[in-house]
Amino acid sequence: MNKQLNDTLRHPEIIVKKRRILVGASVTLGAVGTIAAAVPFVDSMKPSARALAAAGPVEIDVSQIAPGEMTTAAWRGRPIWVVHRTKEELAALPKMESLLADPHSLTSQQPPDMQNLHLQEGFRAIKPEFLVLVGICTHLGCIPTYMPTPGSLDASWPGGFLCPCHGTRYDLSGRVLANFPAPLNLPVPPYFFESETRIKVGMLKDDKDQNWEPQTW
């Protein structure tokens, strides 16, 4: 484990304090970029006029995301991750089941009208190669770090997302590993493919689920 991760895991309160100052600048509305740091979500922040205007659906061009990479956008002030998973990463997901708290996402963390998320296979995505998640830890609201490479944290690390605040681990479908603090898988927001390369996040094609919220919001 590198020194930065070590410090983060041992002193989460320091990170929380520092990141509260940075949260406003970290999720730039409408922007597409990568958020690699831990940013606790602060429920008490009042939304600005710009935030309210941006509460509607957002479009993301997935054609620019190379296999193995992740892009972050913002929807309702929350980070939306789009991960382009490789064939190897997809092949590894069904083998994760014994390590997971809820491998088939039976607890509702995805909109009820989305029927085509390949939950049994563990992909949690309309097109398995493109994972779309709300990037907020279901424990206390920090933002996990994308660490896709197996073994990059320790020998048991399968590749996925690590929450730096209290160490919760998620796999590359946002499913929480058993025996870590977070109680639920990361949420899948309502979304659909407008074309082969563009997704719209915040609603389904038939306008359903615009007001859906996962249990942790």
Residue 167 CB contacts under 8 Å (≥ 6 apart), including other chains: 9, 180, 181
Regarding 140 and contact with ligand FES (CB under 6 A), the answer is yes
175 binds ligand FES (CB under 6 A): no
The order of strands in the sheet holding 169-171 is 145-147, 160-162, 169-171
Q: Residues 150, 137: contact at Cβ < 8 Å?
A: no
Contacting range for ligand FES; rule: CB under 6 A; set: 96-104, 105-113, 162-170, 192-200: 162-170
Under rule CB under 6 A, residue 72 binds ligand FES:
no
Which lies closer to ligand FES via its Cβ, residue 180 or residue 193? 180
Q: Closer CB to ligand FES, residue 163 or residue 184?
A: 163
Residue from 166, 183, 193, 217 binding ligand FES (CB under 6 A): 166
Instruction: Decide if residue 92 touches ligand FES (CB under 6 A).
Output: no
110 binds ligand FES (CB under 6 A): no
Told to check if 163 binds ligand FES by CB under 6 A, we report yes
Q: Does 142 bind ligand FES (CB under 6 A)?
A: yes
By CB under 6 A, residue 126 contacts ligand FES: no
Backbone phi, psi, residue 96, to 5°: -85, -10
- Burial class of residue 150 in the structure, from the number of CB atoms within 10 Å of its CB (0-12 exposed, 13-18 middle, 19+ buried): middle
Rounded-to-integer distance, Cα 75 and Cα 67, Å: 23
Q: Under a CB-based contact definition with an 8 Å cutoff, are residues 101 and 107 in contact?
A: no
Asked if residue 62 binds ligand FES (CB under 6 A), the reply is no
Single residue of 139, 172, 184, 188 touching ligand FES by CB under 6 A: 139
- How many C-beta atoms lie closer than 10 Å to residue 54's C-beta? 17
**Among the listed residues 148, 150, 181, 183, the single contact to ligand FES using CB under 6 A:** 181
Question: Does the footprint of ligand FES cover residue 165 (CB under 6 A)?
Answer: yes
Q: Please, which residue, 78 or 166, has the CB nearer to ligand FES?
A: 166
Pairwise CA distance, residues 216 & 2, whole Å: 30
* Phi, psi (degrees; rounded to nearest 5) at 60: -135, 130
Binding site for ligand FES (CB under 6 A): 137, 139-142, 163, 165-166, 168, 181-182
